Every structure is written in structure tokens, then in C-alpha cells.
Amino acid sequence: MNQTIRYKILELFMLHYPKPYMELSFNSAFELLISVILSAKSTDKSVNKATSLLYSIANTPFTMLKLGLYRLNKIINVIGLHNKKSIYIIQTCKILVHNYQGKVPDNRIDLEKLPGVGRKTASIILNTIFHQPVIAVDTHVFRICNRTSFAIGKNVKEVESKLTKLVPIYFKYNLHNWFVLHGRYICTARNPNCNKCFINHLCCFHLINKLK
């Protein structure tokens, strides 16, 4: 795919998703951090269900530590891998309190030192909270990039590297949310809704299938 087509695709996303949003519910950097940790291999719906109660009780590192591991685990037990995630959250809160005065770090190095925080989670925090032009590549972003030929890569790291080079900075702030929303509701993993897709005339997957 050439850069002119990529630019047209990005312009269409900007037109159709003028105000892209995360479907995780949060009201602070800390709440988003915890929600993203909880979202690994879980749906946003299940995370929001758990955090609606959790954040009414504990929504800072200090109150989370006061809540404790046992009670935290009981509250989030509707989420997959809740035992491991409870431990990650308590460990992360201890680090935030002891090293960062309870604040979420604003740089990748410190973020990725937190238990349960990988590159994708760090990128989401940096992009959403600190408004940095970084692109988090999750399963939806990875699928759309490869399916459309927007940025082909064998793994997440490869796709992220290509996106970093190919996407103009102006679009980097919203690309993650654009592709996630599109991946959930249009370009789904199984049976993508190509007829409802506003970029189908620019998508290699759709154009090839039309020729079959």
C-alpha cells in the first residue's frame, strides 16, 4: 500500500470517528492504568462492571493498598486471571506510593517497570493521559493493519515499528482508538462487515475478495 492510500484511509477515519473514545471507564490516570491492567484477555464490559464498584471504594494507590489484596480479588473476580491481576495491582500501587508519590509516571521506562504493565499498556497511558503521539498495537490494530495491508507485520512489534514510521504525527494521537472501534464493530476477526466499511474501496482484503 502506498502512502497516498494510507493518508486517504486516515482522513476517512478522522471523518467517521471525529471523537474516538476508549470504552474503558475511568476518571483519572490511575483508574485508566488499573483498568488497562485488568483488560488483558478480558472484555472492556467485564472490566467496567468490576471497576464501577472498585473505584467507588478505592481509586488511588493509597486507598487500593488500604483495600488490600483479598478484598480487591473478591471485587474483580468476574475478570479473567483476577488472582494474578490482583497481585500486579497491589505491587504496582506499592511502587507508585513509594517511588512516585502516588502519581502515574509519564514516561515509558518507568511505566514498563510496573507489574502487569507491558509496552501496549504503557503506550495507552502515554497516548490517552499524557497526549503523546504513540500508537498502542493490540489485537484489533494488528488485525486491521495486516488485513488491509496498511502496515503488514508478523508480530505486534513489527506493526508498531511500521506505524511509527508511516503514520503522520497528526494522526498518531487517535489511530489506536480509531482502529480498535473499527475492529470491534466493523472489521471483526470473523466475518468482517465489509459492506458497512467506509474504507472497503481502499482495503486490499476487500478488493481481493471481490475478484474471487
Cell numbers standing for residue 136: 498502542
138 is annotated as an active-site residue = yes
Q: How far apart are CA 205 and CA 29, in angstroms?
A: 37
106 is annotated as an active-site residue = no
Ordered alpha helix ranges (H), the chain = 3-16, 29-39, 44-57, 61-67, 69-75, 82-100, 108-111, 119-128, 139-148, 156-166, 169-172, 175-185, 204-211
Q: By the 8 A CB rule, do 182 and 176 touch?
A: no
Q: Active site residue: 120, 162, 172, 212, which one?
A: 120
Q: Active site residue: 138, 154, 162, 172, which one?
A: 138
Instruction: List active site positions.
Output: 120, 138
